[in-house]
Structure 1
Amino acid sequence: MAAQAQHINPDVLAWAMKQAGMGKAQLADEVGAAPTLVDAWLSGSTAPGLTQLRDIAKALRRSTSLFFLPHVPATTPVRAAFRKPYGRRGARELTSEENAEVRIAQRRQKIAIWAAKSVNQDQAVSFPKRLISPAKTAQLVQGWLHWDVTEQVRVGGKSAVTKMVRRSLEDQGIMVVQLAMKSNACRGFSIYDSIVPLIAYNSTGHVSAARTFTILHELAHLLSGEQAVCGSPDDAEEKWCDKFAAAFLIPSDHLNSYMAKYLKKNFIENDDVDSVRRISNRYKASFQCVALRLIDLGLAHQPLYRAVSSSPLEFDGPAYGGEPQTTPLVRIRQYGVTYPRLLLAARDRGKLHDVDARKYLNVNGEDLLKIRQRLTEEV
């Protein structure tokens, strides 16, 4: 029996493809169809079958119902500040995967903002003032977050500092989410909002210390309270944000004291990767972050950065033990704590139905209770 034709709106299909940055040939490859068939869908001369429509929706990361709309949806341009893959400078087009992840993050952020307003938790996040100097701004932010460099140095590993930074930001009402995009995708992005600002970081292919750096880089974008179009980043802005993140993790006075006492030197040579490694382990910062900070302070020259970036010298040690990766733990790792806290608060106030809370968190009833218990334990 022939598959029943699904008479979708060709204009909506064309719009969804454009939004996803996906051309005819790529969509054809994703759904296992000939490019000529995609042309036919776009012209309206042929309608896809149900299975084909589901494949189209999956490829474009949309619901099947979208394609039956009578008109192309009114949209707000995707606007976010983002950190490009290592080594990429200047403007570039976002990939379909990046576009899709930004849209998903925007939807969750809108839900979180609605939830905050519904329970009267809609006070604006009070960011510190952004100064001309990245290092002085980093000092202000450390005070704002009650950040203790001594504790940063004392914790057991680089992933622990990632968690510390994330939790400190979430305590201020910032929504910090973890993504699993391809390793060559952007390292992270941020979407400013006065009530629930959002930071997203890519966990794929990056060591823990690099994720910490990305989170802080995106925080620097949020400090300006401005939106930047993803495809047209300002390289001067990117460099400022990098310097801020490095200064936050490695304060100059602290670093100078460490180098004098433990390394017995006040300058790091271009090939001295071992000293970079020791400083990295001290501050739980990535090799590239250490090199950047040393160069910015005049304690090293630019070739050191190229030396630590040219080969995979840094890696995370194997993880042993730990809790079983249950659905509630996975969701908290993905969404952070700001998002589920706001949803649960709205549910408790009768503003959000239990079914919708489970849907937005992608869990069942038992998992929702476990998330609540987990969040209560972490307060």
Structure 2
Amino acid sequence: MAAKKQPINPDVLVWAMKQAGISRTQLAGDLGADPTTVNSWMTGDETPGLTQLRLIAKSLRRPTSLFFSPNVPTQQPLQAAFRKPFGSHGTRTLTSEERAELRLAERRQKIAVWAAERVEEHHPVTLPARQGTPEATAKSAQHWLHWNVDIQVKSSKPAITKMVRRSLEDQGIMVLQLSLNSDACRGFSLRSETVPLIAYNSSQVAAARTFTILHELGHLISHEQAVCDKPEDSEERWCDRFAAAFLIPEKHLREYIAKYLKVTRIENEDFDSVRRISNRYGASFQCVALRLIHLGLAPQSLYRAISSGSPEVDSPGFGGEPQTTHLVRMREYGVTYPRLLLAARERGKLHDIDARKYLNVNGEQLKSLQQRIAEEV
């Protein structure tokens, strides 16, 4: 029996392919089909079977129901300035994977805002004001987050990442962890007065994750949203300086260099001092180099030397809890998103089925997630 054809809207298919950044040839490759077949679906001369439609929806990361819509969606795609990789030329466009993660993050943010508006104790997030310099803004942000540098320097790099993430979540910011490849964007942020969002790429080492999270906080404080991939313009440099100043306060750094490194300046090949400062503050090598250069404690060439050297790696970890589904979801979503949905569910504003759907868990996993969230308070 021939597969039943699905009467999809070809205009919607063309729109979804454009939004995903996937060409006719790429889609054909994903489906194991001939490009001329895909072209016939795009023109409306032919329609796919059910199995083919499901593969199309999977490739374009859209629900199958979208393709039956009578009209092309009217909402504007997420607008985000994308920064091209350092040293590259021309325009770098978002990959289909990055576009999908942006859409998913935007959807989760909308769900979180909906839930927050129905939870009485939730208040809009009031970010610290942007000051005259990145350094002054960093001090303001440290005060806002109740950040303790003395605790920071006693903590491991992964622990500092968790501390920064949790501190932001305590203020109502939604912090998502993305599973993207190492060539993808390092992170992005989405503005909202109710639930601002920061997302970071988990393919980075722990110290780089921390830097990315704080860099994106700089964008939110500046009332921007952006997809960032290695700084080039002035706003990117401002956010880099903000993140570096947050992690490495000037007075604290100068005292450390004088007392423990016993030098007045870090020379171009002094990788050992960069490594020691990195371990001291839980900051990436590039972050350390940027901070030293800005403070006049190292030559401009240090950043290039560090960037062209051996890749930074994390120290081997030890054991840990079994990665059950509810713990994996907490790693992906953080605390803010599930906390808001669970609160809306408890107040009868969100059906149990929808809560499980939005959090991608079953009934038992939802109970485990709820218990773990309660322990995090």
Q: TM-score range by the shorter chain?
A: over 0.9
Match of 1:298 in 2: 296
Residues 82 and 179 (structure 1), Cα distance of their counterparts in 2 relative to 1, 3 Å cut? farther
Cα deviation for residue 26 of structure 1 reads: 1.1
Match of 2:352 in 1: 354
Identity across matched positions, percent: 68
Residues 122 and 90 (structure 1), Cα distance of their counterparts in 2 relative to 1, 3 Å cut? farther
Partners of 2:332 and 2:169 in 1: how far apart? 13
Match of 2:193 in 1: 194
CA distances 1:220-243 after superposition (whole Å, capped 9, x unpaired)? 000022345889x97110010011
Which residues in structure 2 correspond to 1:27-66 (within 5 Å)? 27-66=27-66
The answer to whether 1:73 aligns with 2:73 is yes
Q: Is the 8 A contact 1:90 1:235 kept in 2?
A: no
Match of 2:167 in 1: 168
1:200 is paired with a residue whose SS is strand
Cα deviation for residue 85 of structure 1 reads: 4.7
Residues 90 and 173 (structure 1), Cα distance of their counterparts in 2 relative to 1, 3 Å cut? farther
Cα deviation for residue 311 of structure 1 reads: 2.9
Partners of 1:138 and 1:125 in 2: how far apart? 18
Match of 2:318 in 1: 320
Q: Is the 8 A contact 1:84 1:185 kept in 2?
A: no
- Return the letter of the residue paired with 2:200: Y
Residues 140 and 342 (structure 1), Cα distance of their counterparts in 2 relative to 1, 3 Å cut? same
The answer to whether 1:214 aligns with 2:200 is no
Cα deviation for residue 3 of structure 1 reads: 1.7
- Return the letter of the residue paired with 2:40: A
Match of 2:181 in 1: 182
Partners of 1:189 and 1:343 in 2: how far apart? 22
Deviates more, 1:344-353 or 1:234-243: 234-243
2:180 is paired with a residue whose SS is coil
1:154 is paired with a residue whose SS is coil
Q: Is the 8 A contact 2:173 2:198 kept in 1?
A: yes
Partners of 2:14 and 2:299 in 1: how far apart? 50
- Return the letter of the residue paired with 2:20: A
CA distances 1:39-64 after superposition (whole Å, capped 9, x unpaired)? 11101111111111111101100011
Cα deviation for residue 275 of structure 1 reads: 0.6
- Return the letter of the residue paired with 2:141: V
- Return the letter of the residue paired with 1:24: R
CA distances 1:11-52 after superposition (whole Å, capped 9, x unpaired)? 000000111111111111111111111111101111111111
Match of 1:372 in 2: 370
Partners of 2:48 and 2:266 in 1: how far apart? 62
CA distances 1:149-207 after superposition (whole Å, capped 9, x unpaired)? 1100011x101000000000000000000001121110000000000000000112x10
CA distances 1:59-101 after superposition (whole Å, capped 9, x unpaired)? 1000111101111111123124666555558853211111111
Match of 2:261 in 1: 263
Q: Is the 8 A contact 2:24 2:39 kept in 1?
A: yes
Q: Is the 8 A contact 2:178 2:201 kept in 1?
A: yes
Match of 2:286 in 1: 288
1:118 is paired with a residue whose SS is coil
Match of 2:246 in 1: 248
Partners of 1:313 and 1:227 in 2: how far apart? 29
Which residues in structure 2 correspond to 1:69-108 (within 5 Å)? 69-80=69-80, 85=85, 87=87, 91-108=91-108
Match of 1:124 in 2: 124
- Return the letter of the residue paired with 1:359: K
* Cα RMSD (Å): 1.7
Structure 1 residue runs without a partner (length 5+): none
Say how many residue pairs are matched.
376
Residues 31 and 132 (structure 1), Cα distance of their counterparts in 2 relative to 1, 3 Å cut? farther
Cα deviation for residue 263 of structure 1 reads: 0.4
Residues 101 and 42 (structure 1), Cα distance of their counterparts in 2 relative to 1, 3 Å cut? same
Residues 197 and 183 (structure 1), Cα distance of their counterparts in 2 relative to 1, 3 Å cut? same
2:30 is paired with a residue whose SS is helix
Partners of 1:292 and 1:247 in 2: how far apart? 10
2:327 corresponds, among 326, 329, 346, to 329
2:189 is paired with a residue whose SS is strand
Match of 1:13 in 2: 13
- Scaled by the length of structure 2, the TM-score of the pair is 0.96
Residues 257 and 88 (structure 1), Cα distance of their counterparts in 2 relative to 1, 3 Å cut? farther
